[in-house]
């Protein structure tokens, strides 16, 4: 059986134009033709391989600018890949765009609703684009408006909607033609906690119908509770993938203690590595140390004692329990929120 | 191509046009009719212009109405929909090749341009009569020219709409559209530029000049006009050129 989503060696390099006005005017005229200079290139994706099985909720987790939206852009035919290939249910998304588009529903990061229409018309016309009969369109639109708690505002132009309401209309629209694969790019950004829970419930419900869902997020909790498979992406590369629990179990120790000392001391680092339960010691900038360990708070007295023995003062401690956040930190040396 | 999807895209544009009908009517007809009234009625009535000017003016006004309606109907929504809100995205994601989304915009625009052109004739006739002398000798030729002008305006709208950013709309009017009208042989026949030989050659790069002269040739052939084969060939060439350029720009905007 075909993967719902498959990519091989996906690369994207953006040739960004120089900033407007930067190369215009007398300066460039005086120096003659300067437009032969190579444009700055931004590598957004650097060889992404993904396999998403049908019926899976798959999460792409990474910080802003990691390449999540570019990946979704290519998979949804909106971005031309520089290299590599992507398939949706066996259809090459670049060579066979129309067939791929039939399979997918897309919720973009920013609301891109048709502002000339009402919420109901957006759903009904979307259904019409996908060839639904007039009866199917009306019935599905009504059901979705109801499910997304939009019935009272259904016949108003979406121009005046709040961000959260627009987001709900976007998701309802993406589900309107009952696509096999649903893409949600940062679906819960800007939603209040209540709407977020409604969204999660709707995503799980849609998944129970056997549909595949790919969502991007930088929210650990969302990735952890919603996704069955995850890929962690950073600087256009996948740095780890697996189930949320499998990924968390792969971090040495599980706990991370981010420590900061008054000054750097190599003997202290060696001493810390010998403390019971500590699996890895990594120095970080500004006399900091990341300690991967099988326990958390109970290590503190021993750390303080060890530091005192070397005449170093402990100035800051942050303890985090086993989480995907720690996994990201382990692989990149950076926090997801940095 | 996927017919159902294409018709649904057209239905969406028709629905939005219907919703904005009143502003659309003002936008399309107010300016040409004011022009007809002042130049055709006031200036002629007071003796500053000869009576024949009425008949000379009408094809030019029809050309302006068509070209502006077509350009406006295609370019303005596209400029807005390709901005950061990316309103057009749901249509780009419809199960149809994205070139057809551009073609649909062109068809919707050319229908509006044809309606604008055909409505201006009776409206202007009401304002200008008596003394308006229209002689449509060859209706087939009139249909051909009207169609070519409508296609040119809608394709021009596609090319402009996909090349101009929202902050440059004002510039588009003052730098492109206004000179196009004044050097488009709209208020005067091309032969009237005989005393300005360089200008007379230069205006031939303006597609609106062929539109005005073409409509003049079919509606008021009693006035001097460019030769019909030249008009037809030039209009067809501009149609093709603007469509190709517009389609290319549309793809550039649609796919990053």
Q: How many CB pairs under 8 A join A and B?
A: 86
Instruction: Provide the total of helices (H) and of strands (E) in chain A, helices listed first.
Output: 12, 14
- What DSSP line would sit under A102-146, residue for residue? HHEEEE-SS----TTSBHHHHHHHHHHHTT--HHHHHHHHHHHHH
The per-residue pLDDT for B244 is 96
Question: Given A97, A99, A114, which is nearest B87 (Cβ)?
Answer: A114
User: What's phi and psi for A65, nearest 5 deg?
Assistant: 80, 10
Give CA–CA dist A118/A107, Å, rounded.
Answer: 18
Contacts of A115 in chain B (CB under 8 A): 85, 87
- Beta carbons of B86 and A101 less than 8 Å apart: no
Give CA–CA dist A39/A18, Å, rounded.
Answer: 7
Dihedral (C-alpha) A266, A269, A270, A276: value to the nearest 10 degrees? 170
Asked if residue A31 has pLDDT above 50, the reply is no
Domain range summary for chain A, segments of one domain joined by +: 5-248, 252-321
Single out the residue of A269, A258, A333, A330 nearest to residue A300, CA to CA. Answer: A258
- Strand arrangement, sheet containing A91-92: A41-52, A5-15, A83-88, A91-92
Give CA–CA dist B204/A36, Å, rounded.
Answer: 34
CB contact B165 to A (< 8 Å): no
Beta bridge partners of A43: A13
Maximum C-alpha span of chain B: 61
CA nearest to A96 within chain B: B97
**pLDDT, tens only, A159-207:** 889 888 898 999 999 999 999 999 999 888 878 888 888 889 999 999 9
Asked if residue A242 has pLDDT above 80, the reply is yes
Contacts of A169 in chain B (CB under 8 A): none
A141, with CB counted inside 10 A (0-12, 13-18, 19+), is buried
Contacts of A101 in chain B (CB under 8 A): 93-96
The per-residue pLDDT for A73 is 92
Give CA–CA dist A287/A261, Å, rounded.
Answer: 6
Q: How confident is the model at residue A22 (pLDDT cuts 50, 70, 90)?
A: very low
The per-residue pLDDT for A133 is 92
Q: State the nearest Cα–Cα gap between B172 and chain A, in angstroms.
A: 18
pTM: 0.83
- Beta carbons of A78 and B8 less than 8 Å apart: no
- Both tokens of B250, joined, read 């549309």
B236, with CB counted inside 10 A (0-12, 13-18, 19+), is middle
**pLDDT, tens only, A111-132:** 889 988 999 999 999 999 999 9
Question: Given B85, B98, B256, which is nearest A73 (Cβ)?
Answer: B256
Number of C-beta neighbours around residue A35 at 10 A: 9
Asked if residue B97 has pLDDT above 60, the reply is yes
CB contact A131 to B (< 8 Å): yes
The per-residue pLDDT for A122 is 94
Q: Which residues in chain B (57-86) have CB-CB distances under 8 A to chain A?
A: 84-86
- Strand arrangement, sheet containing A237-242: A104-107, A181-185, A212-217, A57-61, A229-234, A237-242
Mean of all residue pLDDT scores within chain B: 89
Mean pLDDT to the nearest integer, A310-327? 80
Give CA–CA dist A196/A62, Å, rounded.
Answer: 19
Question: Could you tell me what percent of chain B has a pLDDT over 70?
Answer: 100
Residue A149, SS3? coil
Instruction: Provide the total of helices (H) and of strands (E) in chain B, helices listed first.
Output: 12, 0
CB contact B11 to A (< 8 Å): yes
- Both tokens of A104, joined, read 């997918």
Question: Given B8, B84, B85, which is nearest A129 (Cβ)?
Answer: B8
Asked if residue B168 has pLDDT above 90, the reply is no
CATH domain A5-248 topology: Rossmann fold (3.40.50)
CB contact A35 to B (< 8 Å): no
Mean pLDDT to the nearest integer, A75-102? 91
**pLDDT, tens only, B206-242:** 999 999 999 999 998 888 888 899 999 999 999 999 9
**pLDDT, tens only, B117-126:** 998 888 888 8
* CATH 3.30.70.100 at A252-321, yes or no: yes
């Amino acid at each position: 059986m075909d993967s719902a989503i498959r990519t091989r060696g996906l690369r994207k390099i953006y040739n960004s134009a120089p900033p407007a006005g930067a190369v215009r005017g007398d300066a460039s005229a005086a120096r003659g033709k300067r437009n032969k200079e190579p444009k700055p290139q931004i590598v957004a994706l650097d060889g992404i391989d993904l396999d998403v099985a049908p019926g899976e909720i798959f999460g792409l987790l990474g910080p802003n600018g990691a390449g999540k939206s570019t990946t979704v852009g290519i998979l949804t035919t909106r971005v031309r890949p520089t290299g590599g290939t992507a398939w949706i249910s066996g259809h090459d998304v670049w060579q066979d765009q129309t067939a791929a588009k039939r399979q997918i529903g897309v919720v973009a990061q920013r609301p891109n609703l048709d502002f000339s229409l009402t919420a109901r018309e957006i759903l009904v016309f979307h259904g019409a684009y996908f060839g639904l009969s007039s009866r199917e369109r009306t019935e599905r639109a009504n059901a979705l408006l109801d499910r997304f708690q939009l019935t009272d505002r259904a016949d108003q132009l979406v121009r005046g909607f709040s961000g959260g309401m627009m987001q709900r209309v976007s998701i309802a629209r993406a589900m309107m033609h009952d696509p096999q694969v649903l893409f949600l790019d940062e679906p819960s950004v800007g939603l209040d906690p209540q709407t977020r829970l409604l969204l999660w419930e709707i995503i799980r419900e849609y998944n129970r119908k056997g549909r595949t869902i790919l969502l991007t997020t930088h929210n650990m909790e969302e990735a952890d509770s919603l996704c069955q498979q995850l890929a962690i992406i950073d600087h256009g590369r996948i740095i780890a993938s697996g189930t949320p629990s499998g990924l968390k179990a792969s971090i040495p120790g599980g706990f991370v203690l981010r420590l900061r000392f008054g000054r750097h001391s190599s003997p202290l680092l060696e001493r810390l590595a010998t403390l019971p339960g500590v699996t890895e010691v990594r120095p970080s900038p500004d006399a900091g140390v990341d300690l991967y360990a099988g326990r958390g708070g109970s290590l503190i007295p021993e750390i303080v004692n060890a530091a005192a023995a070397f005449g170093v003062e402990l100035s800051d401690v942050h303890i985090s329990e086993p989480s995907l956040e720690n996994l990201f930190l382990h692989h990149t040396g950076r926090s997801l929120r940095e | 191509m996927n017919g159902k999807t294409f018709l649904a895209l057209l239905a969406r544009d028709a629905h939005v046009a219907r919703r904005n009908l009143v502003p659309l009517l003002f936008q399309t007809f107010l300016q040409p009719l004011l022009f007809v009234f002042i130049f055709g009625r006031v200036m002629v009535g007071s003796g500053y212009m000869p009576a024949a000017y009425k008949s000379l003016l009408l094809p030019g006004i029809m050309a302006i109405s068509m070209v502006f309606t077509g350009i406006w109907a295609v370019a303005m929504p596209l400029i807005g929909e390709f901005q950061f809100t990316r309103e057009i995205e749901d249509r780009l994601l419809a199960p149809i090749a994205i070139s057809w989304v551009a073609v649909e915009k062109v068809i919707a625009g050319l229908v509006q341009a044809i309606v604008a052109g055909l409505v201006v004739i009776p409206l202007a006739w009401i304002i200008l009569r008596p003394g308006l002398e229209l002689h449509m000798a060859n209706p087939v030729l009139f249909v051909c020219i009207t169609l070519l002008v409508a296609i040119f305006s809608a394709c021009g709208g596609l090319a402009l709409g996909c090349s101009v950013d929202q902050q440059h709309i004002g510039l588009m009017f003052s730098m492109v559209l206004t000179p196009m009208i004044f050097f488009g042989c709209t208020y005067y026949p091309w032969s009237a530029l005989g005393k300005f030989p360089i200008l007379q050659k230069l205006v031939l790069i303006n597609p609106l000049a062929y539109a005005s002269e073409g409509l003049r040739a079919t509606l008021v052939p009693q006035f001097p006009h460019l030769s019909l084969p030249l008009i037809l060939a030039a209009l067809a060439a501009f149609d093709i050129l603007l469509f190709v350029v517009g389609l290319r720009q549309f793809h550039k905007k649609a796919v990053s």
